[in-house]
Structure 1
Amino acid sequence: MPKPVTTAVTDPATAPGRAAAAPPGPADQRDPFFDNAKYAAIVLVAVGHAWEPLQDGSRSVSALYMLVYAFHMPAFIIMSGYFSRGFDGRPKHLKRLVTGLVVPYVVFETAYTLFTRWTDREPDRPISLLDPLYLTWFLAALFVWRLTTPLWRRVRLAVPLALGVAMLATLSPSIGDDLDLQRTLQFLPYFVLGLSLRPEYFRLVRRRAVRIAAVPVFGCASVVAYWAVPRMTGGWFYHRDSAEELGAPGWYGVVMTPVLFVCSLLLVACFLAWVPGRRMWCTVLGAGTLYGYLLHGFVAQGAKFWGWYDPAWIHRPLGAVVVTLVAAGVVTLLCAPPVRRSLRFVVEPDLRWCFRREPAQPARDRDRAAAQG
């Protein structure tokens, strides 16, 4: 059963790394359930990217790709929101935003741009910190979501309001690519929902009855995805374009946003129902999902440049299985403790020297706070 209190947990965030602002609790306490869930989700992220070049000519792979994209990022974002409930803008929280999101964003946005210059043979591609490239959009979005957390924690009907914002975003193709704001707004309801969740909700989805019900739900979802492949674009699940940019009337976005929100939540609940709650071999990897998230993109992009998808057998069923296993293995290695220790200076830098020391609280104020508490 999930414990009602956990320590600061990383996502790709935090996100997919640096500790999120978590509910108060013992500093050394972690719930294996959430680490297991994050590891499973990061594997799905890597596998989804690995399947992308296999979609042409394979309706089955395209259906699985669409199914995975319907819930893997919503699951990550909901967990990120859940562990951001304690964010209130205090100095230590703002420092974590800088060291855990801003610095990795700048580093990996630059690195991915330079890498893309080589793989895509675009030597003049500019480095733009305002236009997130590839995976870095999530760090930019999480930065915006965290900054607005105090607002969402105080307004009434926060989830319906965030859903309304997402619906309006689909109407406007003019939002632009700055900080990938379109995707930030369309994924916002999942983060706000995470802020609203309590530990008992996770206990509900992990009941045996829910685990059993998840089997036919995923079965039906797979059939629907297979049916939908030639009939709709998977771009709706990326949440990065307006309805007009997807070739649909504006009102489609207003309708599709809440429909996809409900479908994604159902699949997220079924996914979490299957996540083990006990400590396992993969539990320790859940603390390193930011590393796996940020690093596996180089392998995914490089695989196309190096011609790994060129052999004909790769595009057959056996090849799809091999690609799946390789992607899962690669991202597992990238989440491992040795990788985290060697790259911590980049992904989770210690920048205490950059910040002023907070003044010590006067003894009289401490006594008054103790008397009131």
Structure 2
Amino acid sequence: MTQQHSTVLIIGGGAAGVSVANNLRRQNASIAITLVEPSETHYYQPGFTIVGGGAYTLKQTIRKEADLLHPSVNWLKDYAETFQPEANTVTLRSGAAVTYDYLVVCPGLQLDWGKIEGLLDTLGKNQVCSNYSPDTVEYTWECIQKLEGGTALFTQPPMPIKCAGAPQKIMYLAADRFRKKGILDKFAIEFCNAGPALFGVPFFAKALSKVVADYGITTSFNHNLVAIDGPAKTAIFEVTDSNGNKERVSKTFDMIHVTPPQSAPDFIKQSPLANAAGWVDINDKTLQHNKYPTVFGLGDAGSTSNAKTAAAVRKQVPVVVDNILALINGKTVAEGYDGYGSCPLTTSLSTVMLAEFAYAGKVTPSFPWLDPRANRRIWWWGKTTGFPWLYWHIMIKGYRIDIPHLEAYAKRFVSQD
């Protein structure tokens, strides 16, 4: 078995892994950094919503992984297989072992398509689409373009999922497309959410309910998609009533956008790093593992209760990097992450509601003079142009940009609610 050693070993080359590697390199030019990531393609996943809505191309979301990493970072194109944290070792699928002084675990999460019976057999045809994979997102736009009327269903599975607003973002983009074509009145649009509310933060849920009403959308809560028959255009939902009783109901559709159930990757669930729910067990403020002090986690695979978004990663990266450097220099870790996440909710093809919030659903906007519940054109520019530029040229490159986000900024707007 071959073996190599690195000061910092990073598992996962998505938004979190690449940002940590490059940020760490900018903070320290000498330490050995190794990143394990099998894919040569890197996706800007926040762009998938507007790809499905026809306002972006898939090509715009793609970069080569090799072009993003600092050349001094040792990139292993392999899969992490098992963890031996007592020995500071990770074993790769190839059989190679990598030892480390510090480990950063950020492999993202997995899409559990198979948990919905029949979905894999029909996804990408029969008007069954999903924005959650680069392999399927373009079909969403094809479905929206072709449909001239009928029932359009949009589903959301039980939490947690990445970008909790995405299941309804595409619904609003589709509805606005239909409206602009003058055929919105020919549709019955329904949002079927396994959860009990439109959005997890009530402050924004109330504002979104006005968007739903404006498009004439029906909301069905506690509706969890469990099976689908594409050729028959039928979806089966498990519906939970107020007493916890469950029954199955079927709904026919002319188009259905499916958000798949999601969970931590299987190799994380089966590892000693996982908590009971399968996520990397980390402190919610320091992002250090609760059992193994040389291990850190961030991004979608972490156990923290924040929204799983790229904006959360941007705030987590400096905390992880600074705490690793503190330990290297014989200092202690510091609390630095407050649960910040941001969800630019595309409410039409020209407006976005910029939802920013921290742990416990605290509303923490970055712009004190703007009501965060408002649908604004400037944030549509941000979604399509500004935020992607910041991702590729600032965050991923390892630069730090910190715009203060404060609960105090929201107080006058919350008091009006």
Give the TM bin, normalised by the shorter chain.
Answer: under 0.3
Structure that is richer in strand per residue: 2
Structure that is richer in helix per residue: 1
* Structure with the larger RCO, 1 or 2 (CA within 8 Å, 6+ apart): 1
User: TM-score, normalising length from structure 1?
Assistant: 0.26
